[in-house]
Structures are given as structure tokens and as C-alpha cells.
A = this chain, B = another copy of it.
Amino acid sequence: MSLLFLFSCCPPEVVTFPQNVEQVSEIAILCNDNEIPLIPFGSGTGLEGGINAVKGGVCVDLTHMNEILSVNPEDFDCTVQSGVTRMQLNNYLRDTGLWFPIDPGADASLCGMCSTSASGTNAVRYGTMRENVLNLEVVLADGRVINTAGKGRRTKKTSAGYNLTNLFVGSEGTLGIITKASLKLFGIPEATVSAVCHFPDVQGAVDTTVQVLQCGIPIARIEFLDEVSIDAVNKYSKMDMKVAPSLFLEFTGTPSSLDEQAALVADLCSMNNGSDFKWAKDPEERSHLWKARHDILYACMALKPGSKPYSTDVCVPVSKLPEIIKRSKEEITKAGVCGPIVGHVGDGNFHVFFPVDQNNPEELQKIQEVSKKMALMSLEMNGTCTGEHGIGQGKRELLVQEIGETGIQVMKQIKQTLDPKGIMNPAKVFY
């Protein structure tokens, strides 16, 4: 499903399918010499138009480079080529007792996830891509190949020189093409339980979240769904939850630590006027619950048959969530559009999944206006205009407001020195 219909479709002139890093390097040299744009393609699941060939050029489709090169179970790391997807890796790891927890929802390619600095529901426990990449192989605009932490290095920490790894994570293909990534892995927790709790308002759900974090409870997931989302989930996934602002929670650990964590969290929920606290201990029930959460995009679209989804995300300090969610809902209502809200509330990050009639330009415009207002509200509240979707084409103007002119100058200086001809994924991140 394409989420990119809001950006004008810009197909590349050529699509290449390199088989190895040497070929990627050759393509880069050829394009650089001839000043032809290069657009890396991972799995096409990004949400801000990152793979559009806005200025034409050559698409470097990395799906053929899909080998899992090594897994080191004792060292909790692995190395994969660019085309390997998140699910492919986790299926491969099944017998090791390990997993790679970063989960943006879609079955994205792991190097694409590096490129956009992806995260998702597990970030509250495991962090985002920024914290989980050990090393990257990158082909630069002029064809040079670097290993950001040095060839073959895969230590959990280092203080050797500039952190090039994290410069390329989140650079959205504008500084180079990621051809290989070494990633951290984690032990699969012994036991898991999930729960749902409903609140009279957003404040109760957020206060509960803050208190859970203050108690140092190692919560695995804590997801907020507003009443519109719950209604959508009930209808789509055949559930009968109370239609109210809700938290979906997941706890992992040893069985008895789970009981303890869970009892504490149940108390916190009820202190904040939460009700209908319901456990899902049984694996089937649990997987039904999280499948419902994962299917929310489809559930939101089903609210409006024939629609396509448009999703935006912002992230604020947790204490500002109640205010920004309240104000966002007011804007959604004022615009007369449908906009269910779903949030990775432990990180202060939330999404609106608008179901859009793409043949209705007026509705499209309203949704873009609401999205922009939300981003501006977030900036007002010390937040960011994009928690996990990146800048791409869609948020370039907002980036300038977020970082400030001088910070943008510095980013552009780095871009200029590494890609002087501006061939790497042009018209993304910056104008």
C-alpha cells in the first residue's frame, strides 16, 4: 500500500539492482561524474516521500542485496546487507533465543530503517535505530566506501573519533547509500503479559505512563489509543473494548517479576481513574490484542471505505502530551475530518492516521493543514516535527523552524563537503 499519494509521483529514469557494494560504488562514480541524482530504495515503506525521484535520476534498488552475513549470539550482534528486512532477520534468529526489537510496523529493510532513524512500539524499552546500530558500510557520492566504525568493528561501545555511524543514521540517503549494517541483538524475554486499561481522559493515561516510568518499571510497550482509534479497532478486529482513551501495555521479564510489575501498574491505573483493567496472559489473547494494535492503520481506513491512509507524527516532552493531544483533536474536529490518534506515549510520540478520500482535494488540503498545525504546536512545546517518520519531502520547511538557521547551515556544510554535486537523494531533508 502506498502512503505517498500526497507527494507528486516522481519515478526515476533508471532502476538499478546492484548485487554487491562494488556495483553500488560503480553506479555512484558514474552518476557523480555525470551529475545524475541517485535515489536509494530499501522497501518503499517510508512515509515522507524519501524514495521519490524528484529531480529524476537513478534509483538504486537494494533488494537483491539481502544476505544475513553473520550472527554472533555470544556478542549479541549481527551484520546484514541492505535489503534484509526486519521480519527476515527475526525469522532467521528464531532458534537463537535472540531478536532485533525495533519495529516500525511495516516490514521495512533494516538499512532503510537506519537511513530514516526508525523506531516504533518497542522504543520505550530498546531505544530507536540510533541506539542499536554498531557500524555501517556506506557508499559515498564519489564512490568511496567507508565503514563508519572501521571495517569489521562491532563493539557495544567506542569513543574512537567522530560518531560517523550516527551521522548516517537518519540522513535519509542524502549523504551516502548504506550497503551493510551491524546491529545489536537482544535476548527474548522469558515471559510476557499484556493488559488494556481505559481512562476518562488523556491526562489519566499520560499520568499513569509518567508514574510507570518514575517507578523504574521496565515496561516493554506502553501505547495510547484515543476513543476514535478504539472504536476503529473494535469494529475492524471484532473486539468490544470500552470506547475511551486507553493504554495498551506489555510487560516482559521473569514470571514473578511480571506479577509484581503488573500489580503495581494496575494500582497506578486505578489511582488515575483507569477502569476495566484487563489482562491478556494467554499467548493467543495477547497476540490478538497486539495484532489489533498493529492493524490500526487498516482499522482507521475501514472507518471510511475506499480511503487511503495519511499518517503524520510528532514527539513532545511527555508532560506536554495531554495538551497537544487535546489541541490536535480540536483541530481535527474543526477541520471536520476523521483522525484517530495513536501514540508511543512513553516516548512522547504520537501519530494521527487520517483516512483520506484521495479524489477529494479539499479534504487532502484540510488534512495537510491539520498536520502542519500539529507540527507547529509540537515545536511550540519543545518538541520535534517528526518523531520517527523523518523529514523526506514533506517536512523540509518545518525542519528549518525546528533546528534554526545556524543549525541548518551546519547540516548543509556537512552535506556539501560529502556530496559537493548534490546528487545524493536531492530535494530530501533540505530544499
Q: Show the binding face of A for B, using Cβ within 8 Å.
A: 72-77, 97-98, 116-119, 123, 127-128, 130-131, 140, 144-164, 166-167, 169-171, 175, 186-190, 210, 213-216, 218, 252-254, 256-257, 260-261, 264, 315-319, 347-349, 379, 382-391, 395, 399, 402-404, 406-411, 413-414, 416-418, 429
Contact = CB atoms under 8 A, between A and B. Distances in A.
9 contacts: A77-B317, A127-B127, A155-B315, A155-B382, A167-B167, A190-B215, A218-B253, A253-B257, A256-B260
Nearest to A206: B74
Given A171-B162, A404-B150, A157 B349 contact: yes
Contacts of A404: 146-147, 150-151
Number of copies: 2
A349 B417 CA distance: 34
A210 B74 contact: yes
Most chain-B Cβ atoms within 10 A of its Cβ — which of A119, A123, A166, A260?
Answer: A166
A124 to B, nearest CB: 9
Given A147-B404, A315-B155, A187 B214 contact: yes
A263 to B, nearest CB: 10
Which of A77, A161, A256 has most B Cβ within 10 Å? A161
Nearest to A256: B260
Contact of A216 (B117, B162, B188): B188
B264 A153 contact: no
B158 A315 contact: yes
A387 B187 contact: no
A159 B389 contact: yes
Nearest to A190: B216
A256 to B, nearest CB: 5
Nearest to A215: B187
Nearest to A385: B160
